[in-house]
């Protein structure tokens, strides 16, 4: 948070699919279909943060699209991601 300003994170729920669009800062994902591509909500020419939270089932993030490192995300455990406009990939925190 920046001192003197109000910062709010937006939230949205989406169904899992091979490709999803991140139109919020925190995206809750339902379903079990693996995700390989996440379309950045701010477009591909702006770096941005994304917090992805699987609901109800583990979720596989694959690398055949624009995700740099594949992982299996655990239910209710946030996955912190950064869109790199230089690499055109989502970079995932190493703590997963």
pLDDT for residue 3 is more than 60: no
For CA atoms 33, 36, 40, 43, give the dihedral sign. negative
| pLDDT of residue 96 exceeding 90 | no
What are the C-alpha distances in Å from 19 to residues 2, 6, 60, 66? Answer: 33, 32, 12, 10
Contact between 30 and 16 (Cβ < 8 Å): yes
The model's pTM: 0.89
**Whether pLDDT at 61 is above 70:** yes
């Amino acid at each position: 948070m920046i001192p003197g300003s109000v910062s709010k994170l937006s939230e949205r729920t989406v169904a899992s699919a091979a490709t999803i669009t991140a139109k919020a800062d925190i995206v809750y994902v339902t379903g079990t279909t693996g995700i390989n591509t996440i379309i950045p909500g701010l477009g591909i020419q702006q770096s941005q943060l994304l917090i992805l939270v699987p609901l109800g089932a583990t979720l596989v993030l694959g690398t055949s699209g624009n995700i740099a490192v594949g992982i299996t995300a655990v239910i209710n455990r946030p996955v912190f991601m950064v869109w790199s406009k230089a690499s055109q990939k989502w970079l995932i925190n190493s703590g997963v």
